[in-house]
Amino acid sequence: EDQVTQSPEALRLQEGESSSLNCSYTVSGLRGLFWYRQDPGKGPEFLFTLYSAGEEKEKERLKATLTKKESFLHITAPKPEDSATYLCAVQSMEYGNKLVFGAGTILRVKS
Amino acid sequence: GAVVSQHPSWVICKSGTSVKIECRSLDFQATTMFWYRQFPKQSLMLMATSNEGSKATYEQGVEKDKFLINHASLTLSTLTVTSAHPEDSSFYICSAFLYLAGITDTQYFGPGTRLTVL
């Protein structure tokens, strides 16, 4: 069974204090690993898709990396507007287009 | 691009009534859409997979007769909560699957619908 574990559950940062969120996964053949951002009371917003180990993608202050067992979402010099829940999800060969989500990391950035 | 809308954004209804939620992909066609439910401070729980022109596939434990799904076109899927009860109160989110060979195979999510059953 596909499993996704995110850590930490919650993270508080000062503005400008860089850090990383972790997503560990166990799947029967990875088709893709996805990062989403979710603000309270809203649907998830797509950030990145990673397909193979060694792949990296960047968007503004965010950078996602992938290994065979985990993915990291690096946040460089965060701002208060980066505060949100960050969700990691995997798509496996066994379950086709379905996504299996982790529980998420709640990020709070204080000014 | 890849915008998904939901309507209504919130709804309050009386126990025993039925509520329909619409999910539309605005700028792309989606043969597959998904319906999720999210409880406070929890992650998304997949309820069902909706395929255009065919019956939906429900996850284990989801009542097919309570949560009716129709995917009548490539841009519209609907979720009807029948005979709603207070325990059906939740945040319902849909997603539309965009597949372009060699470019993307990503679920794009709608803004969600908050259902409150009194």
Per-residue confidence (pLDDT) for residue B100, from 0 to 100 = 83
Task: Indicate the pairing of strand B113-117 with strand B10-13.
Answer: parallel
DSSP A44-110: -EEEEEE-STT-EEEETTEEEEE-SSEEEEEE-S--GGG-EEEEEEEEETTTTT--EE---EEEEEE
Q: What's the average model confidence in pLDDT over B85-89?
A: 97
Per-residue confidence (pLDDT) for residue A90, from 0 to 100 = 95
Answer yes or no: do B109 and A46 touch at CB < 8 A: yes
CA A89 → CA A3, A47, B47, B104, distances in Å? 9, 11, 16, 15
Per-residue confidence (pLDDT) for residue A95, from 0 to 100 = 84
Of B91, B106, B110, the CB nearest to A49: B106
Q: B50: which chain A residues are within 8 Å (Cβ-Cβ)?
A: none
3-state secondary structure B21-86: EEEEECCCCCCEEEEEEECCCCCEEEEEEEECCCCCEECCCCCCCCEEEEEEECCEEEEEECCCCH
C-alpha A38/C-alpha B95 separation (Å) is 14
Per-residue confidence (pLDDT) for residue A97, from 0 to 100 = 86
Q: B interface mutation test: which of A97, A101, A105 has the most B CBs within 10 A?
A: A97
Nearest residue to A4 via CA among A29, A22, A19, A16: A22
pLDDT digits (tens), chain A, 111 positions: 889 999 999 999 999 999 999 999 999 899 999 999 999 999 999 999 999 999 999 999 999 999 999 999 999 999 999 999 999 999 998 888 899 999 999 999 999
Assess whether pLDDT exceeds 90 at residue B46: yes
Assess whether pLDDT exceeds 90 at residue B44: yes
Share of chain B above pLDDT 90, in %: 85
Per-residue confidence (pLDDT) for residue A31, from 0 to 100 = 92
Q: What's the average model confidence in pLDDT over B56-83?
A: 95
> What value does the mean pLDDT of chain B take?
94
Per-residue confidence (pLDDT) for residue B3, from 0 to 100 = 94
| Residue B46 at interface with chain A, using a CB cutoff of 8 Å | yes
Assess whether pLDDT exceeds 90 at residue B14: yes
Per-residue confidence (pLDDT) for residue B104, from 0 to 100 = 80
Of A44, A45, A98, the CB nearest to B49: A98
Per-residue confidence (pLDDT) for residue A94, from 0 to 100 = 85
Q: Which residues pair with A100 in a beta bridge?
A: A90
